[in-house]
Amino acid sequence: MRVTKFLLVFCMVAGGPACSCQQPDFPDTHLNLGVTLQLKGDLDGAIAEYRQALRLKPDYAKAHYNLGGALRLKGDLDGAIAEFREALRLKPDDANAHYNLGGALRLKGELDGAIAEYRQALRLKPDYPEAHNDLGVALELRGDLDGAIAEYRQVLRMKPDFPQAHNDLGSALKDKGDLDGAIPEFREALRLKPDDAKAHYNLGSALRLKGDLDGAISEDREAVRLKPDFPDAHLDLGVALKHKGDVDGAIGEYRQALRLKPDYSQAHNDLGGALQKKGDLEGAIAEYRQALRLKPDDVNGHFNLGIALRLKGDLDGAIAEYREALRLKPDFPAAQNNLAIALRLKGGVDGDHH
């Protein structure tokens, strides 16, 4: 998950001992104490101080803004959104507040609202690379890859050494099918930030799609070394190992992905395929069924289950799965072909009983 950058706001001390920032019953004192606690990782303490600042001064935009950031870090997105909105009611031209409100809305899945806030932040502060980058992320999530790519490129014109923008641009280019464009972006992200597990994973995925299995395995292994609890990287490593012929290694990676993320439908499906390749049809069928419980409209899952059931001799079950795959995707020649074969076999079996 991409995390929006948050800039904490202090009250700056500009006077001597009588400055309000230094007095215990002044809101500025509680604001600054909240920032200090937040920087130390004490979010609950920080939230309490920001709330105390607001009890003393309800129209304190800085305190609403900082409270919003702390609540977002606690996972209270509704509370964060309310605080950012209040900060903006009091100070409408705060580009950082628009940006952070956009981030909270994006995490809530409210992409149109997030995009509007990022654009407002950029109207107020055009040279804001983080806002351009997160606008790109929101556009990509909404399916506008060209718009996202344009934003990432704008970030890199402003800040060429921004590793996240290189990584995000690479991801968008990969999704567009431009692997030759994506791979150099991932490599540049890693040159700037060598310990970025997500960039290693993304590079590994792109290399696998290019057919460089050794390169993919190397990058995926580095990703899981840096971040052992990274289910996507374990899955991708498993896929690359399977393509290299190391089915046992693949099974181990799929199982690790599922230990980390038990409801990972793609990992269940891929584990089923690996078990089927090893001849464990019962194990494969169980994994395909679990994948379909998690994702009932997975065309390939129904197709794969149909194959395994046919190999087990369950023609009725196979026919039902092929039909479901074709209901979901009528233009699926392999499913049409397998259904025809299963129906012919079924006719032959039924004929043997007459």
**pTM reported for the whole predicted model:** 0.84
> 66: exposed, middle or buried (C-beta count within 10 Å: 0-12, 13-18, 19+)?
buried
Q: In the chain, what percentage of residues exceed pLDDT 90?
A: 90
pLDDT digits (tens, 9 = 90+) for 305-314: 999 999 999 9
Beta-carbon contacts of 107 under 8 Å, excluding residues fewer than 6 positions away, are 1, 4, 72, 77
User: What per-residue confidence (pLDDT) applies to 349?
Assistant: 55
pLDDT band at 46 (very low <50, low <70, confident <90, very high): very high
Burial 180-196 (b: 16+ CB within 10 A, else e): ebbbebbebbbebbeeb
User: What per-residue confidence (pLDDT) applies to 25?
Assistant: 74
Does pLDDT of 285 surpass 50? yes
CA distance linking residue 182 with residue 152, whole number of Å: 12
> Domains in the chain, start-ordered, CATH in brackets?
1-126 (1.25.40.10)
pLDDT digits (tens, 9 = 90+) for 291-309: 999 999 999 999 999 999 9
Q: 137: closest CA among 150, 148, 146, 127?
A: 148
pLDDT digits (tens, 9 = 90+) for 325-351: 999 999 999 999 999 999 999 886 554
pLDDT digits (tens, 9 = 90+) for 62-93: 999 999 999 999 999 999 999 999 999 999 99
CA distance linking residue 42 with residue 200, whole number of Å: 31
Q: Left if phi > 0, otherwise alpha if psi is -120 to 50, otherwise beta: which for 245?
A: left
Mean pLDDT on 126-134? 96
Q: Is 75 helix (H, G, I), strand (E, B) or coil?
A: coil
User: What per-residue confidence (pLDDT) applies to 124?
Assistant: 98
User: What per-residue confidence (pLDDT) applies to 232?
Assistant: 98
Mean pLDDT on 258-271? 98
Residues in the chain: 354
User: What per-residue confidence (pLDDT) applies to 57?
Assistant: 96
Residue type at 336 in one-letter notation = Q
